[in-house]
Chain A
Amino acid sequence: MANHNPWPDEGNTGHIWDEDLRELDNPPPLWWMLSFYAGFIMIIFYTLYYPVIPLTDKTGEFTKGMAGWTAIEEYNEDFKVLKDWRVAKFADKEEQLAAMSVADILKDDELRQYAVATSKVLFGDYCAACHGAGGAGNPNFPVLADDDWLWGGQVAQIEASIKNGRIGNMPARGMMGNLSDEEIDNVTDYVIALSEGKGSDPQFAAGKAVYAKGMCLACHGPAGKPLAPAGAANLTDQVWRFSSDRDAIRNVIANGVNVKKNGEYIEGTRQAIMPAFKERLPNADVNVKRLAVYIHQLGGGQ
């Protein structure tokens, strides 16, 4: 910075660098400056009025400023307005859902769409953990998007399944628990053949005999197809409850589903329990119906 100022008249501030680089004093128009200063005054006002100071007071509350305003309170208020609006706007629809049976809801186009649209989040929160997003299923958990239903695919049956839950039940080694390892092998081959439509081939006659001896037909039906949906799998179709792998199928026949001895699950048995959602869901009498309608339209409702 030079002390000596070769340009005394041009109104520079006397700050000169590199011999000729100098700072001039060119004030902007007065009103610009006034608004600039007004900005500073606003800072003081803001600091006092709004929660600017990041300290807590004695009660552990954050300082709120004179206005007592906080962003989260404003958010909550706004959100409440939105929520109230939503509740008010759809109150009649909710009432209808509560009053009507699921079968009737399904018939009412508008109501059905409403039920489906309001179920996505609910399904994600309560169902998708086991049944997968969109009912895609997970290993050992049933797919909801197909047309194979253990307990029935009509919307009222789906509703009942959600509401009261379902407990799978299949004895180990046949109804009497008396099938030998060889017999189990034979019947395994037989049920696989059933799903391929080759059940009456002579080579599976041994397995077919075991199917009768083990009284499998009591639940799975004389031809591998249950007479009514009561939890037993349809053995003639292409959908397997647990896995289409032969070892897995054999294991289910050998150790059953949910088989307990002295109150403990026996080793190797499949555990298959769907909890009752009437206790788990909030606002269950409406939400169970909503979910039943939603699941019904995933791809295979009957």
Chain B
Amino acid sequence: MSEKQSETASKSGTDHSVLGGVETSNKNLENIGVELLPVHTGGTVHAKRIPGTFRKIKWILASFWLILFVGPYLRWDGHQAILWDLANRQFHFFGLTILPQDIWILAMILLFFALLLAASTAVAGRLWCGYFCFHTVWTDVFTWLEEKFEGQPNKRQKLDQAPMSLEKLKVKIPKHLIWLLIGFATSFSFVAYFTDAIDLWARLFAFEWGSVETTIVVVLGLSTYFFAGFLREQTCIGFCPYARIQGAMIDTQTVVPTYDQDRGEPRGRMRRVKPGEEAPDLGDCIDCNLCVAVCPTGVDIRLGQQFGCITCGLCIDACDSVMDKIKKPRGLIRYASLQEFTGKKLPAIWKRPRVIVYSAIMTFAAGAILYGLATMSPIDVKALHERSPLFVQMSNGSIQNKWTLKVVNKGAEVMQAKITIGSEFQNMEYDVSPAVLSVQPGTVGSATLLVRIPRRDLTEANTPIDIMVEDVNNPQIKTTYNSVFIGPKPR
């Protein structure tokens, strides 16, 4: 870069960059305005629990996960309503049976939720982490139970430090048992989606579990216990990839729990002003540290938004309760974006490019899912054209092509598939063996099709033909497969 260019570059840089006016010649992080915020490493975080709006929202959203435990026991038409039948390669969802051929719908569902995650994060930060993530929810339940058994945070801390004693065990053991029980319920419910739940219970009491089930239930149960009981915020800070991905998806227009520095600083404890003393000029933050005490990841939000923060909103509850007590307006900590604090207004949600793109993809995925479910036919036909030989010269001068037909019966009754051919050729002959193919529900049947067309009738090397399959028992179930008849190059 020439000197002139670099000059203009740095000039425009100082005009527009967020680092405008910052001395960048020195690599010292403090000089360029980056602060290293502390991460909690000092042992288990014992967060205080206080009631509030966000607390309520959290419970309501968390209760969604109760479905996990109930799901396996729902019945539909005499079988389990939600069942991933791996052995038979079928997925039952109430009245729907999804076979591997329809698995693209699943891919669309995954796409939809991946983009939902991106869109919600772009709008309001780590909503998933703070409210919905199973790790957050399970940890929340585990610490709630811990409080029931062991009391307030300070009591828990004392208990943790106390030497092992009978008293301590009396408090600890029931807690761990309940935790393990939840872990077991979680892993059992998970496995119950892959095999009949009631049968799974029956076989549990008869000691008939196989090694696969046993291993999965034990490993998953113990890791639930370990992660929610012990790893807690270490998971979010230390190794959950979502924490990093979502952190990177937040921008200056994203609203996240933020401490209003202009209003709160300088912080300080309220004191009676002694006569003769001048009242100190303090901001609204009374430095009670309640926001830090309630934070499940041990973050001090007043230092700014940071990567330990899972945006659970609990510090907002805490701060609001304090503001209520000292009769100041709420919202010293609130959901706000960086852009608001620079004085610029936030554009309407539907005018933000990322939101537009994400929602467009989500709409596409949702449309594809609806299309897939709406057009899911109980019959599916694949015709595999023989590749070697592509065609055969027959003794009477006809050209013969061969297909292997795969007929999938996605319905609930036996299908009698009859195969016919439609083409423009008068002198076409065909054989299907077997003539009528019977296909059991949920399985694939296969038939061989031979089509012969006199060579002199063929004007092209490739001629389209239609392979039509119809269920004799149920004539409205039918489908057409468009294939190509291949012959020699015309002479």
Q: Is B387 an interface residue (CB 8 A)?
A: yes
Q: Is A231 an interface residue (CB 8 A)?
A: no
Q: Which residue from A132, A135, A137, A146 sits with its C-beta under 8 Å from B395?
A: A146
B27-A132 in contact (CB<8A):
no
Q: Is A23 an interface residue (CB 8 A)?
A: no
B41-A29 in contact (CB<8A):
yes
B43-A147 in contact (CB<8A):
no
Q: With the chains together, A182 CA to B434 CA distance in Å?
A: 52
B469 to chain A, nearest CB (A): 19
Which residues between 445 and 479 of chain B lie within 8 Å of chain A, taking CB atoms?
448, 450, 455
Using A26-B41, A299-B402 as known contacts, say yes or no to A132 and B393 having CB atoms under 8 A apart.
Answer: no
Per-residue CB contact flags for chain A residues 124-139 toward chain B (1 = under 8 Å, else 0) read: 0000000011111100
B210 to chain A, nearest CB (A): 16
A238-B396 in contact (CB<8A):
yes
B488 to chain A, nearest CB (A): 12
Per-residue CB contact flags for chain A residues 30-44 toward chain B (1 = under 8 Å, else 0) read: 000000000000000
Using A18-B27, A26-B41 as known contacts, say yes or no to A136 and B394 having CB atoms under 8 A apart.
Answer: no
A238-B395 in contact (CB<8A):
yes
Q: Is A249 an interface residue (CB 8 A)?
A: no
Q: Is B33 an interface residue (CB 8 A)?
A: no
Q: Is A155 an interface residue (CB 8 A)?
A: no
Q: Is A148 an interface residue (CB 8 A)?
A: yes
Using A20-B27, A299-B400 as known contacts, say yes or no to A147 and B394 having CB atoms under 8 A apart.
Answer: yes
Per-residue CB contact flags for chain B residues 384-400 toward chain A (1 = under 8 Å, else 0) read: 00111100111111001
Which chain A positions have C-beta within 8 A of B387? 134
B392-A299 in contact (CB<8A):
yes
B448-A143 in contact (CB<8A):
no
Q: With the chains together, A136 CA to B400 CA distance in Å?
A: 12
Q: Which partner residue on chain B sits nearest A135 by CB separation? A: B389
Which chain A positions have C-beta within 8 A of B389? 132, 134-137, 143, 145
B316 to chain A, nearest CB (A): 29
Interface size on B, residues (CB 8 A): 22
Using A133-B388, A146-B394 as known contacts, say yes or no to A29 and B400 having CB atoms under 8 A apart.
Answer: no
Q: Is B306 an interface residue (CB 8 A)?
A: no
Q: Which partner residue on chain B sits nearest A244 by CB separation? A: B393
B92 to chain A, nearest CB (A): 28
Using A18-B27, A29-B234, A134-B386 as known contacts, say yes or no to A145 and B392 having CB atoms under 8 A apart.
Answer: yes
Q: With the chains together, A292 CA to B264 CA distance in Å?
A: 90
Interface size class of A (residues with CB under 8 A): 20 to 34
Give the tally of cross-chain contacts (CB within 8 A).
Answer: 62
Q: Which residue from B41, B43, B234, B393 sits with its C-beta under 8 Å from A238?
A: B393
A132-B388 in contact (CB<8A):
yes
Q: Which partner residue on chain B sits nearest A298 by CB separation? A: B402
Q: With the chains together, A146 CA to B402 CA distance in Å?
A: 11
B480 to chain A, nearest CB (A): 24
Q: Which partner residue on chain A sits nearest B43 by CB separation? A: A29
A239-B393 in contact (CB<8A):
yes
Q: Is B161 an interface residue (CB 8 A)?
A: no
Q: Is A234 an interface residue (CB 8 A)?
A: yes
B434-A239 in contact (CB<8A):
no
A134-B394 in contact (CB<8A):
no
Q: Is B6 an interface residue (CB 8 A)?
A: no
B388-A136 in contact (CB<8A):
yes
Which chain B positions have C-beta within 8 A of A299? 392, 400, 402, 450
Which residues between 222 and 274 of chain A lie within 8 Å of chain B, taking CB atoms?
234, 237-239
Per-residue CB contact flags for chain B residues 242-257 toward chain A (1 = under 8 Å, else 0) read: 0000000000000000
Q: Is B25 an interface residue (CB 8 A)?
A: no
Q: Is A297 an interface residue (CB 8 A)?
A: yes
B394-A20 in contact (CB<8A):
no
A31 to chain B, nearest CB (A): 9
Which chain A positions have C-beta within 8 A of B211? none
Per-residue CB contact flags for chain B residues 31-62 toward chain A (1 = under 8 Å, else 0) read: 00000000001010000000000000000000
B87 to chain A, nearest CB (A): 16
Q: Is A65 an interface residue (CB 8 A)?
A: no
Q: Is A168 an interface residue (CB 8 A)?
A: no
B395-A143 in contact (CB<8A):
no
A78 to chain B, nearest CB (A): 15
B395-A147 in contact (CB<8A):
yes
B234-A239 in contact (CB<8A):
no
Which chain A positions have C-beta within 8 A of B43? 29
Which residues between 12 and 29 of chain A lie within 8 Å of chain B, taking CB atoms?
18, 20-21, 26, 28-29
Which chain A positions have C-beta within 8 A of B450? 299
Q: With the chains together, A143 CA to B386 CA distance in Å?
A: 15
Q: With the chains together, A238 CA to B27 CA distance in Å?
A: 86
A2 to chain B, nearest CB (A): 14
Which chain B positions have C-beta within 8 A of A136? 388-389, 392
Closest 3 CB pairs of A and B: A237-B395, A136-B389, A134-B388
Given A109-B434, A143-B392, A238-B397, output 12 extra A-B contacts at Cβ < 8 Å: A132-B388, A134-B387, A134-B388, A143-B389, A145-B400, A146-B393, A147-B394, A148-B395, A237-B396, A238-B396, A239-B395, A300-B394
Ordered by A's residue number, 21 sampled pairs between the chains whose C-beta atoms are within 8 Å are A18-B27, A28-B41, A29-B43, A29-B234, A132-B388, A133-B388, A135-B389, A145-B392, A146-B394, A146-B395, A146-B400, A147-B395, A148-B395, A234-B395, A238-B396, A238-B455, A239-B393, A239-B394, A297-B433, A297-B448, A300-B394
